[in-house]
Structure 1
C-alpha cells in the first residue's frame, strides 16, 4: 500500500480529541485509510517519573518498554478520530498488544513517531485491525508496537484467520498486586487515557460493565516491571492477549516461566480467572522490522 503521510509539528489536545470521539457513534465504512501521521514528541520528565512510580518501574537511565506507548497516545487518538477513519473510537476493544524493543531505550530526549492502521480482518464479532506505532531516533527504528483492535458490528467477507496457540510452559507465581478502585483514574491522570470504563463504576455501567476495569496497558506495564529480570536490555518483543478484564478493586497474581531467551506469563485473578496471557521472545536480525 502506498501510504500518504501527514507531518505534524505537535499533537492535538486530548480534550478536543475526546469531544470528537464522543460525537462519532456509527460505522461509516469498511476499509482503512491509506494515511498515517508523523510527529516528533519529547520525553516529559515529570510524566516519566510519575509513570515509573505508578507502574513500579525502577528509576534508571532507560525508558520503560511501555512508555513510548504513553508518549504516542495523543497521536494515536488523532489518527483514530480523523474524518477518514471509519470506526467510532468509543467501543473499540483492545484484544492484543505486541511491543518490540529493537535497541536500548536510553539517553532519549525526543522520538519521531509514526502511527497508521493496517491489516483489516473479519472476526466472529465484527472486524479487527492493527494500530501500528513506530518510534525512531537519529539512528533509525528503536521501538515498535502493534495494538490489535476489535470493532463490533463491521461486516466483512471471508473467514477469521486461524490463531496459533503456543505449547504452554510451566509457570510459577512471580508476584501479586492489588488493583485498587482508583487505579484507573490515577493511570488516566498520568497517561491521558480517560476511557469511561476505567474511571468509576458509574461511568463503566454506561458501557455495560458492572464495575470499573483496569487499563490493559497498566496491567501489561506492571507485568513487564515485574519481569525485568527475565528480559534483556533490548532485542526482544513482548506479546500479550487481553482476556477477562480486571474489575476494580481486586487482587491479581502474575505467573511466569523460568528466565530464558523465550518465555511465557499470565495474569490471573480470583478463581483462576485469566485476565492476560503473554510471551517474550528474543529478536533475531531477520525478525526485526526494516
Structure 2
C-alpha cells in the first residue's frame, strides 16, 4: 500500500516550486505565475510542512533551496509531466480531441479513398495533423483496439461489437490476369475451370485474401498459389510479371500496371467487400472522429452521386 501523501502537497504547489527553482527568486517566480511573492513564499513553506523537512535556508533576504528541495523538484517535474500526459489521454478517451489523428488504412485505399477523406477532414479541421498507418485488416483492427490508431479505413470485420462503422462503398472482386492472356478476351471467368492455373495471393489478414479464399471455396478446389505478398501493389506487379493470376478489388483499377486487366467473375463466384471507416465505440464523441465521420459521409455521398 502506498504511503499517504500529506494534503499540503498539491500539483499547484509543485508548479510553484519548479517556477521558483528555475527563476531563482520569489519575485521572478511570482511574475511568471501571475501571483504575489507572498503567495509563492507561503506555498514553499507549505511544502516544507507537507514533507516534514527543511527545503530552504535564508541567506540574507534570499531564500536558497537545499539538496532536499532539488530532489523534490526533480520528482515534481516527472510527476507533473506524467499527470499532464495522463490528463491528455483521459480527455481524448472521454471525447475531447487532440491536435492530431492517426488513421489506419489498407494499402489499396491509399490511391483515391484515403486522400479524399483526409482532404475532407482538413476542410473541417484545418489545423489537425494527420498520421497514416498502413497494414492488413487484422493488423488495423488490433491497432484500433490497442489505441495505436484512432480510426481505420478497411474491410468491415464480422462480429466486432466494440466498433462503430460508416460504410464508404462496396467493391466487387475481379479476376486479374496479364493483358495478353486468354482470360483478357473472356466476358467473364469460370473460376472452376482454372484448376491448372498458377496464382499469387496476399497473405492472411487482408480482406482481399479472405474473398480470394471464399471464391475458391465456391469453385471447389484449392488454388495453386506460387507466391504470397503483404501489399496489393506488389501483388499487381507479380501478375504483371507473369508469375500468376489473382483476384483483385475493382478500386485498384486506376493504378493497375498497363499490361494487367480485370475480368468479371461468373455470377456464382462473385464476391464483394464492404469498405468502411471504423473507430472504437468508446470514442464516438471525440470531435476529431466526428469530423472524420462527416468527411467520410460526404465522400460516400459523392461516390453515390
TM-score range normalised by the length of the shorter chain: under 0.3
Q: Higher strand share goes to which structure? A: 1
Q: Higher helix share goes to which structure? A: 2
Higher relative contact order (CA 8 A, sep 6+): 2
